[in-house]
Structure 1
Amino acid sequence: MSAPEKIVAESRTEFGKGAARRIRRENKIPAVVYGHGNEPTHVILPGHQTMMALKHGGANALLALEIDGAEQLALTKDVQVGPIRRVIEHVDFVSVKRGEKVTVDVPVHVTGEAGPDTLVVTENAVVSVEAEATHIPEVFEVSVEGAAAGTQVLAKDLDLPSGVTLLADEELLIINVTEQISAEALEAELAEAEADAGIEHDPSQDEIAEAQDEAQAEDAAQESGEASDSE
């Protein structure tokens, strides 16, 4: 992880939905910093700079917030994004200290192309680890280049940087490379599942639907031909 970006934060004294809306209209972001037994610190952050810092820092972005002239390291714990405009509406941080160990969930990123006729399944997209607050891995990269069906990557197989301790179960399945199922096999599995569930499959309904599709296709082709003749 690179050095935390420094951001000057304003102390927040007004609360409520109306105050939050006014803050966002000024292209700023309301936030709160928890931790170390202190009372939560409510702040206002510059919108664009904070957005870029969070984007660059990933899921566990670490920021150096300057609050009333004092620097506070703040680890991102929750980012609330508006459902329509997709802008950051609020951020929760946890205060940390240099050298302090923290527990975080680090995302898994799959790279490479597995072998032919395979399907790569990410069974667990994040892995829980303990790391120094200023040395949190942004992602764990897992290469499946040329991997054959049956290949499995467990938590213990991850390449952990120095100082990072795995907290998840060592046998936790992260990536599973399976044999790609054919359309015929998938149809057979669906038919078997329907039979087990007591669902009767009526072939005549499929034939009717197929005939309707063919008729619609013929009508569309005929209309297209008539339109071409009239031009």
Structure 2
Amino acid sequence: MSAEKITAESRTEFGKGAARRIRRADKVPAVVYGHGNDPLHITLPGHDTMMALKRGGANALLELSIDGKTQLALTKQVQVDPIKRHLEHIDFVVVRKGEKVTVEIPVHLNGTAAKETLVVVENATVQVEAEATHIPEYVEIDIEGLEAGTQILASDLVMVPGSTLLLDPDTLVVNITEAPTTEDIEAELAEAEAEAGIEHDQSDAEAAAEAAEGDNADEKSDEA
């Protein structure tokens, strides 16, 4: 993972009002901490930072130029506006080349399992230890043609050289089961609704069918 170069500015104003002014200028408030240093408050260019995070993923590594000094920083937490989707705030941690860091990386599935199966990802991310400048973007799992009953454990994952999986080997990551039938789904839904006390009004067809059954029962009774 190569570091994206971003020019940052030191920040001396704090609070909600200052943060709003920064965002209106298409910039992002951020803080850099770690290695026993005092937190460093900065602002970043909005568009360039957004693109760097898209390319780098959840663990984007940035090479920040701050007041003429260069600092490697690993993305730790990103706050995004839920409606406008712009960056609101970013937390970074200071890292150094060759330093080992612990991060969560996503699980990516490759291929398609056998027909009439359901693929359940029990753990969408896994924790790994890797060099700060060589963090894998994801761990890939090939599920092509796998049949129902197949279980992929943490011990089955293939990690890129230089990274170590920090997960119990017996942890279930992907579970492939038989796909439920329509009848199974309807039965589960009916059971859940019954437990929740949900009752449905009869449809016209159901009412007619019930009435017909009643008439047939009356006719048989008369004949008897």
Same fold (TM over 0.5): yes
Distance, in Å, in 2 between the alignment partners of 1:89 and 1:50 is 11
- Aligned partner of 2:22 in structure 1 is 23
Letter in 1 for 2:150: T
* Structure 2 partner of 1:43: 42
Deviation at 1:209, TM superposition (A): 2.5
- Match of residue 171 from structure 1: 170
Could you tell me which residue of structure 2 aligns to residue 56 of structure 1? 55
Shift of residue 100 of structure 1? Answer: 0.4
Q: Does 1:127 align with 2:142?
A: no
Unaligned runs of 5+ in 1: 213-231
Number of the residue aligned with 1:12: 11
- In structure 2, how many angstroms separate the alpha carbons of the residues matched to 1:72 and 1:30? 17
**In the alignment, structure 1 residue 147 sits paired with structure 2 residue 141:** no
**Residue 85 (1) aligns with residue 79 (2):** no
Pick closer, same or farther for the CA change 1:198–1:101 going to 2, 3 Å. closer
The 1:25–1:193 alpha-carbon spacing in structure 2 relative to 1, beyond 3 Å, is closer
SS of 1:20 mapped into structure 2 = helix
Where in structure 2 are there 5+ consecutive unaligned residues? Answer: 207-224
Matches within 5 A, 1:63-212: 63-191=62-190, 197=195, 205=200, 208-209=202-203, 211=205
The runs of 4+ residues in structure 1 deviating greater than 3 Å are 188-195
Range that drifts further, 161-170 or 48-57:
161-170
CA distance, structure 2, for counterparts of residue 70 and residue 162 of structure 1 = 31
The residue aligned with 1:220 is: none
Equivalents in 1 of 2:61, 2:84: separation in Å? Answer: 25
What's the TM-score once normalised by structure 2's chain length?
0.86
Tell me how many residue pairs correspond in the alignment.
207
Following superposition, the deviation at residue 159 of structure 1 comes to 1.2
**Paired residue for 2:210?**
none
Aligned-residue sequence identity (percent) comes to 65
- CA distance in 1: counterparts of 2:75 and 2:121, whole angstroms: 24
Match for residue 216 of structure 2?
none
> C-alpha displacement at 1:211, in angstroms?
3.8
